[in-house]
Structures are given as C-alpha cells and as structure tokens.
Structure 1
Amino acid sequence: MTDPLGEVIIESVRNGTYLKVTAVHVASGTEATAVGPAMEPKAVERLAVAKLKRLLNVS
C-alpha cells in the first residue's frame, strides 16, 4: 500500500514554547503550516500534514 500523498518534506522551527511545522508536498510545492505547543511535536506535525492533505484533496 502506497501513501497517496507522495513525498512530503517536514520542517520544524521552535520559538520558545511554540513549534511551527511546515509540510511541503514535493511534487507540487504546496505548503501547509501548523503552530502548536513545543511539548507536542508529533501532534503539530500531524496537524500540518492533515492541512496539506486537505489542500491537495487527498484522503
């Protein structure tokens, strides 16, 4: 089973107690960003990827 989203680059930047995660779809260059608590990096990453999927209309 392959991921319908394809290749995604994840970038995380911490600013104090906040974490900004940007997910970039390699094939299209589309970006989605999420900001959340630095204590929950995986949750913020999941949110950024979910926003990217919504932007690309991928389930």
Structure 2
Amino acid sequence: MADESEVYFEITVIGASAKVAAVDAATAIEVAVVGPASGSLADLKRLALGKLKARIARERRAGGIP
C-alpha cells in the first residue's frame, strides 16, 4: 500500500463481538479481525488496517500482486 489506496471497512456486531473487515480497493484483498463490541471501534479498525498492510506486503513479496 505504498500508494495508499482506499480502504473500505465493514463493521458487523453480533452479540458481544464486533467483526471489522478491511478491503483494499486497488487489490480487493480483504482481512478481518474480531474483538469485543464494547471495545474501541477505532482500535479494531487500526488493527484491521495493520493486518491488511501486512497481508499486502506478503502478497507483493510472493509476487502475487505488483
């Protein structure tokens, strides 16, 4: 994500859990994290974004995306 493409977030709350999915617009790579619904939404989004950046870096090293 060196070019800092757009990232879309989807938040789903089920009971006491919240799932935050992050999707990179340029590559369509999606990752998700789950945490407590009572926790900070900003923290869950930051965690999902970090996971997405790591996944994209791994894919680039493996030659899966340019």
TM-score range with shorter-chain normalisation?
A: 0.7 to 0.9
**Shift in Å, 1:54:** 0.2
Question: Which residue matches 2:54?
Answer: 54
| Partner Cα distance (2:55, 2:4) in 1 | 11
Which structure shows the bigger proportion of residues in strand conformation? Answer: 1
* Bigger proportion of residues as helix: 2
Q: Is the 8 A contact 1:21 1:45 kept in 2?
A: yes
How many residues matched? 55
Give me the CA root mean square deviation.
1.3
Structure 1 residue ranges without an equivalent (≥5)? none
Deviating 4+ runs (over 3 angstroms): none
> What is the deviation of 1:5?
3.0
Shift of 1:6: 1.4
% of aligned pairs identical?
36
For normalisation by structure 2, the TM-score amounts to 0.76
SS at match of 1:52: helix
Q: TM-score w.r.t. structure 1 length?
A: 0.84
- Offset of residue 52 of structure 1: 0.1
**Unmatched segments (≥5 aa) in structure 2:** 58-66
Higher relative contact order (CA 8 A, sep 6+): 1
